[in-house]
């Protein structure tokens, strides 16, 4: 007990706050001294405008939020279920559709504004009486000590902890300061992100068109009044092309987008503010070093073409909470390397599989090699006729296959 905290989480984004929420609800870890450092004060959303940043939340992530009592708070704000997915190849006839009813599920997932997830998590933490907030505070330094780690904050305060968790995003300070080794490669693509208003309603269908220049995702939004004329788009393009699209005026951009989407939703009538993100693939060699664990974007970033990024991070948070709960329940040292190793083993393999799959998809659909184009178009159309294969792929994308953490199976810790 010579440290200030047992567990100190750096980063109260979607992943860090989910982890905190899980830890304070476990009968074993709730007894520990848990702190969470967050650099930015969260501004509660007060208007009805669509937030630019959204995430496609899988069924597994939804179950995790349900187990933590966060889902009703998200639903009471705004979530957009989608019941089907339509994927097609711009360079041929390849087309595949997935339907929730074929999977025996009410939806394939939900599109949710990131601020809605964050607000719901913060409200839940308040309801649970969480007092460990250190916000706004930035972690600037950390050093290994005999008992664990000492961190320095921008206010000048120093704190000590037995276990330090880096949930501080793609440019993680904890990862950098604790000398984690990482593979990082730019995808040489950027994503143009915007909210659009369409002529036709989206019909609760998530659409993805694979163009030679990169995939265009149209994620269906649903207003609280049931209006379905909005979509969030992620248009992945080679970085120079993305910059060209960003430079277009609104009318020209809407026209280019209408063409790129083959007018599936009619004309794109209005585009809200646009922004552009460069994509990187990053993966740390190990998720842990002595007394430190990384989760979420701090450990891995992935091309957003299948909308998996935050879902992988949420499963990290659920698995880490489960391992810490298990260790605390047995009276083990939660910062012990063998405890952390169980978490790292569970998550690195699962995340690697998904990342390799995404890289394969990107390569396959980025190629204009004629035999490969023929093979992918034919493969897609054949697969579309074989529901067991198709449903297996979809179950995997929905997070319903593999080593699913307890909380994401709908159980409590
Ligand atoms: C264009 C685009 C589209 C995407 N679409 C999807 C999608 O559809 N589905 C999906 O699953 N994922 C998607 N993603 C990925 C998803 O946005 C990320 O995986 C997710 O935001 C990562 O969450 P996180 O909590 O790990 O990190 P972050 O969201 O980056 O949160 C990190 C937090 O740490 C804080 N912080 C950082 N440094 C410090 C410090 N030194 N001290 C204190 N606090 C600090 C930050 O303020 C922040 O709040 C997309 C990404 C992009 C770029």
CA distance 254 to 259: 9
pLDDT at 257: 96
- Local confidence band at 221 (pLDDT 50, 70, 90 cut-offs): very high
Report which ligand 1 atom has the smallest distance to the Cα of 137.
Answer: 43
pLDDT tens by residue, 294-338 = 999 999 999 888 789 999 999 999 999 999 999 999 999 999 999
Query: Does 109 contact ligand 1 (Cβ within 6 A)?
Result: no
pTM: 0.96
Query: Does 310 contact ligand 1 (Cβ within 6 A)?
Result: yes
Query: Does 399 contact ligand 1 (Cβ within 6 A)?
Result: no
Cα of 242 vs centre of ligand 1, distance in Å, is 21
Q: What is the mean pLDDT of residues 133-162?
A: 97
Cα of 40 vs centre of ligand 1, distance in Å, is 13
Cα of 370 vs centre of ligand 1, distance in Å, is 38
pLDDT value at 126 more than 90: yes
CA distance 28 to 42: 29
The rounded percent of the chain whose pLDDT value lies above 70 is 99
Cα of 309 vs centre of ligand 1, distance in Å, is 9
376 or 339, greater pLDDT:
339
pLDDT at 76: 96
Q: Left if phi > 0, otherwise alpha if psi is -120 to 50, otherwise beta: which for 54?
A: beta
Cα of 13 vs centre of ligand 1, distance in Å, is 6
Q: What is the mean pLDDT of residues 80-85?
A: 97
Q: What is the mean pLDDT of residues 159-182?
A: 98
pLDDT tens by residue, 278-292 = 999 999 999 999 999
Report which ligand 1 atom has the smallest distance to the Cα of 217.
Answer: 8
Query: Does 168 contact ligand 1 (Cβ within 6 A)?
Result: yes
Residue 55 lies in a domain: yes
Query: Does 139 contact ligand 1 (Cβ within 6 A)?
Result: yes
Residue 111 lies in a domain: yes
List the residue whose alpha carbon is closest to atom 21 of ligand 1: 310
Report which ligand 1 atom has the smallest distance to the Cα of 296.
Answer: 26
Cα of 118 vs centre of ligand 1, distance in Å, is 11
Q: What is the mean pLDDT of residues 391-396?
A: 86
Residue 345 lies in a domain: yes
Residue 246 lies in a domain: no
- Local confidence band at 58 (pLDDT 50, 70, 90 cut-offs): very high
Cα of 250 vs centre of ligand 1, distance in Å, is 27
Report which ligand 1 atom has the smallest distance to the Cα of 173.
Answer: 41
Residue 394 lies in a domain: yes
Average pLDDT, the chain: 93
Q: What is the mean pLDDT of residues 349-367?
A: 81
Tell me, what CATH number does 384's domain have? 3.50.50.60
Q: What is the mean pLDDT of residues 386-390?
A: 81
pLDDT at 1: 55
Report which ligand 1 atom has the smallest distance to the Cα of 167.
Answer: 26
Report which ligand 1 atom has the smallest distance to the Cα of 312.
Answer: 11
Query: Does 277 contact ligand 1 (Cβ within 6 A)?
Result: yes
Query: Does 316 contact ligand 1 (Cβ within 6 A)?
Result: no
Question: What is the domain count for the chain?
Answer: 1
Domain extent, residue 55, equals: 5-185+280-409
Pocket test of ligand 1: the residue of 169, 232, 287, 317 to mutate, having most ligand atoms within 8 Å of its CB, is 169
Report which ligand 1 atom has the smallest distance to the Cα of 17.
Answer: 25
Query: Does 165 contact ligand 1 (Cβ within 6 A)?
Result: no
List the residue whose alpha carbon is closest to atom 38 of ligand 1: 168
Residue 386 lies in a domain: yes
Query: Does 167 contact ligand 1 (Cβ within 6 A)?
Result: yes
Residue 22 lies in a domain: yes
Cα of 283 vs centre of ligand 1, distance in Å, is 15
pLDDT at 405: 97
Query: Does 280 contact ligand 1 (Cβ within 6 A)?
Result: no
Residue 194 lies in a domain: no
- Local confidence band at 90 (pLDDT 50, 70, 90 cut-offs): confident
């Amino acid at each position: 007990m010579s440290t200030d905290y047992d567990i100190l989480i750096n980063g109260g984004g979607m992943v860090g706050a989910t982890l905190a929420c899980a830890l304070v609800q476990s009968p074993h870890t709730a007894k520990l001294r848990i702190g969470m450092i967050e650099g930015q004060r969260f501004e509660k959303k007060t208007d009805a405008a669509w937030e630019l940043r959204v995430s496609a939340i899988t069924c597994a992530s939804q179950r995790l939020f349900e187990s933590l009592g966060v889902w009703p708070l998200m639903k009471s704000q705004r979530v957009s279920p989608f019941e089907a997915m339509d994927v097609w190849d711009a360079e041929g006839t390849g087309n595949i559709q997935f339907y929730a009813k074929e999977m025996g599920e009410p939806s394939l997932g939900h599109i949710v504004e990131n601020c809605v997830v964050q607000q719901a998590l913060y409200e839940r933490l308040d309801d649970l009486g969480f007092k460990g907030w250190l916000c706004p505070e930035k972690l600037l330094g950390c050093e290994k000590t005999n008992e664990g780690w000492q961190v320095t904050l921008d206010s000048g305060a120093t704190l000590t902890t037995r276990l330090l968790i880096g949930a501080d995003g793609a440019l993680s300070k904890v990862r950098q300061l604790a000398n984690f080794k990482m593979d990082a490669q730019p995808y040489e693509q950027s994503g143009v992100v915007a909210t659009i208003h369409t002529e036709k309603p989206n019909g609760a269908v998530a659409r993805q068109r694979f163009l030679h220049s990169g995939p265009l995702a149209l994620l269906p939004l649903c207003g609280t009044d049931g209006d379905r004329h909005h979509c969030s788009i992620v248009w992945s393009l080679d970085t120079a092309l993305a910059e060209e699209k960003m430079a277009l005026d609104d009318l020209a951009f809407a026209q280019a987008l209408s063409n790129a989407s083959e007018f599936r939703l009619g004309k794109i009538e209005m585009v809200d503010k646009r922004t552009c993100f460069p994509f990187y693939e990053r993966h740390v060699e190990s998720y842990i070093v002595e007394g430190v664990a990384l989760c979420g974007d701090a450990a891995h970033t992935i091309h957003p073409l299948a909308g998996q990024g935050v879902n992988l991070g949420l499963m990290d948070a659920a698995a880490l909470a489960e391992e810490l709960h298990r260790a605390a329940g047995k009276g083990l040292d939660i910062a012990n390397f063998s405890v952390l190793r169980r978490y790292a083993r569970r998550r690195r393999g699962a995340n690697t599989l998904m990342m390799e799959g995404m890289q394969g998809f990107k390569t396959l659909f980025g190629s204009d090699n004629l035999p490969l184009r023929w093979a992918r178009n034919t493969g897609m159309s054949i697969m579309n006729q074989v529901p067991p294969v198709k449903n297996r792929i979809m179950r995997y994308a929905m997070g319903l296959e593999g080593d699913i953490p307890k909380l994401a199976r709908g159980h409590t810790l």
